[in-house]
A and B are shown apart, each in its own frame.
Chain A
């Protein structure tokens, strides 16, 4: 035990002496969570659009005013003819063009109907679709105002309640995700590098011939990083509560416990990576190239897993980050406890045990 403590001490010294890495380790998560918490949103706001008005009458003017008054759109340009649309889209700034037909007002009065074309730059399908939906919603409202005197309509009116996030803040969606990514990558990367580093520099051999047992070496390597990651997790949670006003509906204690569990599973993954790679370079490429995109894309951080093809939904189950994001959202936003999260928790636990088991099996006490 004394040997082990001595070894862990050595690791702490290593980390604390490297001021630059330490600064990066603590500074970067803070910068990232602040930056992304404020900046990333998948809402559509302030989209630049243009108008092609063939009739220029009172009604079209009113509709244009209504649209420019909404927070979703800002009208940046008046287009003169259809021929210009192509070149406008090619420049890439304007995302949609509303085209009013000839004699809009007259047709509306005479025939009770008139047409607006919503031409969108659908290279971004999400934005295009959302623009089209929003314009439709604005026009529906306008139409209701016009039809106020028309009687004899039966109306079923949906009263929508937005559960867990009544203001539809996208911060609620992204802060748990950013937290997960930071913890996952920092933990996995740090351990995998610190172990392979000893291999590459040749000091691993010295450790192996010393009386410390191999598993003590590994645990001694990981313990300091558990401390560091827990501090990171605390900082991130504090920031998200006080700066982003994330609620913690559930138990803070449970959140802390789950965070530690997730950190350990990420560290275990780091150990696993280090056992299969010989150089720091390989370890880093695996933990960066191999983990970064899958963690961002398959965890439900940005893209809803339920919309993915079935095969990918299945694959997403092996991404630990997916389960942690469900847990964090559950505790912070829904206020649920272990009775709802036992499945996710035991999956994380199982993965951790699995990673450690494989690493122990693959860990070589002799260097080739």
Chain B
């Protein structure tokens, strides 16, 4: 026990003596949490909108006015020809171009229907889908008014059938992205810091040659590993705490669920990450190798965690891959507990899988650590 305390003391001293590193460990992640949480939004707004009006009628102007009035669209420009519009879209200056054909008003009155050209820059397919929906909504509500304005007295009105939908957004009525992203990004930062630090730590001693000195001391394998990992566990928990405070104070993220549950889960989760880090450390000879591997897994963990893009939309094989991603469980648990107030029973599946993961990873790490080279 005393030995462990000494190792821990040594590790802490090493960490706190390196002032540059300390800044990277604490300030960099928190700064990123504050700044980058604002960036992560799929909300489509400020759509850059342009039109070509070949009709110049009161009707075409009314339609454009309707787009102008919408909060989603920014009417940026009007073009006189398609080629102008095309070149502007190639330049990336506009997202949506509306083409109003000649005789728009006249044909509509005669034929009762009229086509309207809409071109959307669809490289971002999802955003294009949303832009399409918004465009349709505006045209549809314009259609409704048309009926009233253009109907002649001779037309008999038969009441159309109407299915009314009432959306209700639970837990986040204003569809605020930050409440969704802040817990996720916090999870990521805690994971990255603890993984990188633990992954590099032992391999660094290997590379510098000090590991051999420790290996010839009577320190036991388990004592050494516990002593090495405990400081990082503390750092991870510390980061979580500061991150939660920032989430509450700056972003005003609701914390509906139990803090105790969150901390209990995190304390197990960090063990998984440290186990992975240690495992990487054991199988590499240089810090460079260790970092490449850590980087490889981090990118996979981030992009396959459901943090930025939904897991349900992935193909089945990829969904199975995500089952092995600890970050996925952490993201789910944080969001469930913080935003919805899920209880112990609700997160039991995630909790038990994480616990199992922690046991396996740390078992492997201790097993693969050899005191002889």
Across the interface, B298 reaches (CB within 8 A) one of A116, A156, A167, A292, namely: A292
User: Residue A251 at the B interface, CB < 8 A?
Assistant: no
Q: Contact at A92–B42, with CB atoms within 8 Å?
A: no
Across the interface, A25 reaches (CB within 8 A) one of B48, B123, B185, B292, namely: B292
Size of the chain B interface, CB-CB below 8 angstroms: 126
- Extra A-B contacts (7), CB below 8 Å, given A90-B340, A155-B113, A309-B38: A32-B299, A39-B318, A123-B335, A123-B336, A288-B294, A303-B39, A307-B41
Q: Contact at B175–A122, with CB atoms within 8 Å?
A: yes
Known: A89-B171, A147-B161. A159 touches B115 (CB 8 A): yes
User: Residue A24 at the B interface, CB < 8 A?
Assistant: yes
User: Residue B119 at the A interface, CB < 8 A?
Assistant: yes
B236 CB to closest chain A CB (Å) equals 14
* Inter-chain contacts of A346 with B (CB < 8 A): none
Across the interface, A20 reaches (CB within 8 A) one of B157, B162, B289, B339, namely: B289
Q: Contact at B118–A159, with CB atoms within 8 Å?
A: yes
B162 CB to closest chain A CB (Å) equals 4
User: Residue A298 at the B interface, CB < 8 A?
Assistant: yes
Within A42-63, which residues are at the interface with B (CB < 8 Å)?
42-48, 63
The residue in A63, A129, A158, A197 that gathers the most chain B C-beta atoms within 10 A of its C-beta is A158
Within B272-315, which residues are at the interface with A (CB < 8 Å)?
284-289, 291-296, 298-300, 302-304, 308-310, 312-315
User: Residue A258 at the B interface, CB < 8 A?
Assistant: no
* Inter-chain contacts of B29 with A (CB < 8 A): 289
A46 CB to closest chain B CB (Å) equals 6
Q: Contact at B164–A113, with CB atoms within 8 Å?
A: yes
List B residues at the A interface (Cβ < 8 Å): 20-21, 24-25, 28-29, 32, 35-36, 38-48, 63, 89-92, 95, 108, 112-130, 132-133, 135-136, 139-140, 142-143, 146-147, 150-151, 155-173, 175-177, 179-180, 185, 188-189, 192-193, 196, 200, 204, 284-289, 291-296, 298-300, 302-304, 308-310, 312-315, 318, 321, 332, 335-336, 339-343, 346
Across the interface, B24 reaches (CB within 8 A) one of A47, A160, A285, A302, namely: A285
The residue in A160, A170, A292, A302 that gathers the most chain B C-beta atoms within 10 A of its C-beta is A160
CA distance A288 to B310 in the complex (A): 24
List A residues at the B interface (Cβ < 8 Å): 18, 20-21, 24-25, 28, 31-32, 35-36, 38-48, 63, 85, 89-92, 95, 108, 112-130, 132-133, 135-137, 139-140, 142-143, 146-147, 150-170, 172-173, 181, 185, 189, 193-194, 197, 277-278, 280-282, 284-286, 288-290, 292-294, 296-298, 302-304, 306-309, 311-312, 315-316, 326, 329-330, 333-334, 336, 340
Sorted nearest first, the 3 A-B pairs with minimum C-beta distance are A168-B125, A122-B169, A39-B318
Subset of 29 A-B contacts with CB under 8 Å: A18-B289, A39-B314, A43-B313, A44-B312, A48-B312, A89-B340, A115-B165, A121-B171, A123-B336, A139-B163, A147-B160, A150-B160, A151-B155, A152-B155, A153-B112, A154-B146, A158-B116, A169-B125, A173-B126, A197-B287, A281-B21, A281-B204, A285-B21, A286-B24, A293-B36, A297-B36, A298-B39, A303-B39, A303-B40
* Inter-chain contacts of A167 with B (CB < 8 A): 125
Across the interface, A194 reaches (CB within 8 A) one of B90, B133, B167, B288, namely: B288
Q: Contact at A46–B157, with CB atoms within 8 Å?
A: no
Q: Contact at B196–A122, with CB atoms within 8 Å?
A: no
* Inter-chain contacts of A85 with B (CB < 8 A): 170
CA distance A293 to B336 in the complex (A): 23
Q: Contact at B171–A282, with CB atoms within 8 Å?
A: no
